[in-house]
Amino acid sequence: GAGVSQTPSNKVTEKGKYVELRCDPISGHTALYWYRQSLGQGPEFLIYFQGTGAADDSGLPNDRFFAVRPEGSVSTLKIQRTERGDSAVYLCASSPEFTGELFFGEGSRLTVL
Amino acid sequence: AQKVTQAQTEISVVEKEDVTLDCVYETRDTTYYLFWYKQPPSGELVFLIRRNSFDEQNEISGRYSWNFQKSTSSFNFTITASQVVDSAVYFCALSERDSNYQLIWGAGTKLIIKP
């Protein structure tokens, strides 16, 4: 379809492992956001890309989290040395520039055992 | 500091009833944007509306309406003649000027519409 695509939809990993979550935004959308949502809570901002550069990464919780968007389209969120507290649904959203209307993917549910 | 409060954790009504979801926000900025999103059981957040701080006109879209009151820092959402398909978690969110639409979200209100 033409929406935001996130893979994998579910990821179960062990504590200490490395994880990559992928986001394929809507074609032509220059803005891309990563959010994290824990059960029963609203999404929590992680990082925002405008084009290829991370315009705002103030929401990344620590240096185990990193995200890239090398060609200004697909983005990958990388989590090193995963911890149980990283378990959440990781949401990706894209937007036409400066509209504020975010189009979300269905999320990647990460479970760290 | 910015904050969004949705005091209603869960609301349950019978189909065809009207229901209002409350949203109260805090910001020091004079230019900001308010949003409502719907999250059905499938999990994908769906944009419903964006309002800027200079536009206090109420908005109506079909059975949905929004009441923005700057005096009380509220941006409430009403569904008229609710339907079972309206069952979802509804989030109110705020972004300030120059924040690149980094949204500050409320905790959400779970709306259950019973047939």
- CA nearest to B95 within chain A: A100
What pLDDT, on a 0 to 100 scale, did the predictor assign at position A98? Answer: 65
Q: Is the pLDDT reported for residue A1 higher than 60?
A: no
Of all residues in chain A, the percent with pLDDT exceeding 90 is 77
Q: Convert the pLDDT of each residue in A63-105 to its tens digit.
A: 999 999 998 899 999 999 999 999 999 999 999 876 678 999 9
CA distance A105 to A75: 13
Q: Convert the pLDDT of each residue in B80-90 to its tens digit.
A: 999 999 999 99
User: CB B4 to CB A42 under 8 A?
Assistant: yes
Average pLDDT, chain A: 92
What pLDDT, on a 0 to 100 scale, did the predictor assign at position A100? Answer: 72
User: CB A43 to CB B103 under 8 A?
Assistant: yes
| DSSP calls for B68-97 | EEGGGTEEEEEESS--GGG-EEEEEEEEET
Assign A11 a pLDDT band (cuts: 50, 70, 90). Answer: very high
User: CB A93 to CB B43 under 8 A?
Assistant: no
Answer for the pair A78, A66: CB distance below 8 angstroms, yes or no: yes
User: CB B95 to CB A43 under 8 A?
Assistant: no
Q: Which residues of chain B have pLDDT under 50?
A: none
For residue B42, the chain A residues in CB contact (below 8 A) are: 106
Mean pLDDT within A10-25: 97
> Quick check: B46 contacting A, CB < 8 Å?
yes
Mean pLDDT within A55-65: 91
Distance from CA of A101 to the nearest CA of B (A): 6
